[in-house]
């Protein structure tokens, strides 16, 4: 099976712009989670989607949003970008059930100038 695929791999934006990141989960995985990784804060949970519904959300402002499509692919959007949004954004998928094991993609490296 192919792993979790994230596009694009790198992005450079300026303050005030908005950005959309894409994630394709492992085939058969219906749950998709998003994490932000920075050197200072480490890996922080953004949100999780399952069957096109947001099931849980982390402590991020409303500028961070996401959605999931019927084929389980997911997108996250960040509006009104700030310098502090520069980070590696990781998507992870997992099988439904009691197994919490997440499989991560390689991430999208976002730089806000």
Partner 1 sequence: GESVGLHLPTLSVQEGDNSIINCAYSNSASDYFIWYKQESGKGPQFIIDIRSNMDKRQGQRVTVLLNKTVKHLSLQIAATQPGDSAVYFCAENFQGSSNTGKLIFGQGTTLQVKP
User: Using CB under 8 A, which residues numbered 13 to 52 contact partner 1?
Assistant: 31-33, 35, 42-45, 48, 50
Beta bridge partner(s), residue 32: 49, 93
Q: Which of 76, 90, 110, 112 binds partner 1 (CB under 8 A)?
A: 90
Count of residues in contact with partner 1, rule CB under 8 A: 26
Token duo for residue 78: 């960040």
Tell me how far apart the alpha carbons of residues 26 and 1 are, in angstroms, rounded to a whole number. Answer: 7
User: Smaller CB distance to partner 1: residue 80 or 106?
Assistant: 106
* Contact pattern for partner 1 over residues 45 through 84, marking x by CB under 8 A: x--x-x----xx-x--------------------------
Tell me how far apart the alpha carbons of residues 108 and 113 are, in angstroms, rounded to a whole number. Answer: 16
User: Smaller CB distance to partner 1: residue 7 or 56?
Assistant: 56
Picking from 26, 81, 79, 31, the residue whose alpha carbon sits closest to that of residue 53 is 31
């Amino acid at each position: 099976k192919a792993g979790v695929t994230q596009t694009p791999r790198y992005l450079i934006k300026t303050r005030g712009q908005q950005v959309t990141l894409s994630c394709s989960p492992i085939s058969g995985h219906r749950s998709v989670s998003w994490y932000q990784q920075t050197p200072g804060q480490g890996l922080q949970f953004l949100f999780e989607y399952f069957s096109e519904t947001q099931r849980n959300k982390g402590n991020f402002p409303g500028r961070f949003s996401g959605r999931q499509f019927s084929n389980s692919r997911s997108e996250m959007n960040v509006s009104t970008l700030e310098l502090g949004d520069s980070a590696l954004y990781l998507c992870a998928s997992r099988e439904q059930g009691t197994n919490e094991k997440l499989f991560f993609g390689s991430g999208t490296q976002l730089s806000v100038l």
